[in-house]
Structure formats: structure tokens, C-alpha cells
Amino acid sequence: MNYTILVPQGAEYQAVCRGLSKTGSPQPQVLPIPIGYQPVTHYLEKWQKSEQFLTDTRPQVLLMGLAGSLSPQYNIGDIVLYQNSIWVSNQSEPSLPGSDRKLQLNSQTLPSAISTDSTLTTLVHHHLQEKTYLVKGLTSDRLIWSSLEKQQLSQLYQAGVVDMEGYAVLKVLNSKEVAVAMLRVISDDCYYDLPDLNCAFSPDGALKALPLAIGMIRQPLAATRLIRGSLKGLRVLQEVTADLFRVC
């Protein structure tokens, strides 16, 4: 497969690079992207003007990384392949329903989804076979740390997983007719809260070390679950990268 891989900077990027190093095959271009909707949008707009992008006649992009589960169906370590993604911003998001209220929504009230490239997605799915789940993704402009909110978002938007970059990648690259597939590994489930680490994200999509450490210390049990889930997710991300590019 002739891909450009996009993967969030930091540990996720390192896991993908380790996986590629084990294939013994020519390695695709791997680009570390910032975390979050706006930072990755700005990054991709600049990338589109680069010589490498402009000279590629049939660009294909594989977005890889970790994701959070919104549904009991998907557990830590599961590999998911997106069929589409919707965008929910903190500002535009309707009030989430209380546990004692039934949802009364129709399709006109829900945000529209952007689909991944069906041919490329099918190709990736064919190579990985039974190892992957096909899912509907949701992209948020903030970290969804509350297990209750995850379950409510799943019910409200019928999405299975959540991330912070997917919809932005689809929106920017689809406008340039770039084929995009999105492959992620679940690193946190919908049963337990995560630490609220939203203050640790900088405006340019990087993690700030001190706020990150403080957020973890303040919620040690949640932090322990996050670390364990992330380590398992990163290990699987490395393995699936090696598997995918070893056979392609």
C-alpha cells in the first residue's frame, strides 16, 4: 500500500514508527499531527501547499492512533476502522439528556457525517480481516473524560468511538479528493472516568507537561486506568501497524 500515515504526535507516533520498523518493507511517509480539531485543521491546510502533496497524483492517507470507546461493544485493545465520523463541538452540542429523560431526536437534529473512502477502507479491512470492527466515529473539540457523558453521546449520536482529530482530517482532505481511511485502537472504555486533562492541551495541539502531571496526580485512580489502557492501546497500535504493512 502506498500511504501517507497521519498519527497524533508523541506516544502514538512513536508506536506507529516502531511497528513500521519491524516490517522489513519500504516505509511509508509518517507525519506527526497535532492533537485537536483546530490544530490539525491548520496543519493540514499548510501540508496541502507542500511540494510532496502537490506532486502526489493519487494521494492516499491513513489516519492512525488511539480512540475512546463510547459503547460497551468496544473494549480496550480493540482495533476499529471508521466508516464515517461526525463532529460535535462543545459550543454547538445540545444539552445531554438526563438519565430520566428519553431522547426524542430525528435525523434533522443530528450533525451530518463525513464518510471515509470506501475503497481504501475495504482494502485495509481485507488485510486485517476479523481483527477489526467497522464503526461510526465522533470527533470532539475536547477530551471526553466522563463515562456518563460517553454513554450519553453514544445514545445521542449513535457513535461507537470518540477522538479529537478524525472529522477535521476528513473535512480538509475530502475537499481535495484525497482518499482517507481511519484506523484506531481503543485505549479507554465507557465504564470508568478518565482524569480531566483538558487544561493540558495547548492551543497548538501539544500536551503541556506540568498541567498533565497535575491532572494525573489529582485523580490517581483514573490516571492509573488511563496509563494502563494507553499502554495496551499503544502496544496493539504497534502490532497492527506491523501486521498491516508486512502483508501489503
Consecutive 10-residue runs of the chain (248 residues): their mean pLDDT?
89 97 87 97 92 74 98 97 92 44 44 93 91 96 95 95 98 94 98 96 95 96 98 98 82
pLDDT score for 90: 65
pLDDT score for 112: 87
Domains of the chain listed by start with CATH number: 4-192+233-247 (3.40.50.1580)
Which burial class, exposed, middle or buried, applies to 104 when counting CB atoms under 10 A from its CB (0-12, 13-18, 19+)? exposed
Long-range CB contact pairs, 21-26, < 8 A, 24+:
22/242, 22/246, 23/242, 23/245, 23/246, 24/246, 25/245, 25/246, 25/248
> How far apart, in Å, are the Cα atoms of 177 and each of 1, 117, 119, 174?
18, 10, 13, 5
Report whether 35 contacts 94 (CB < 8 A). Answer: no
pTM for the model stands at 0.90
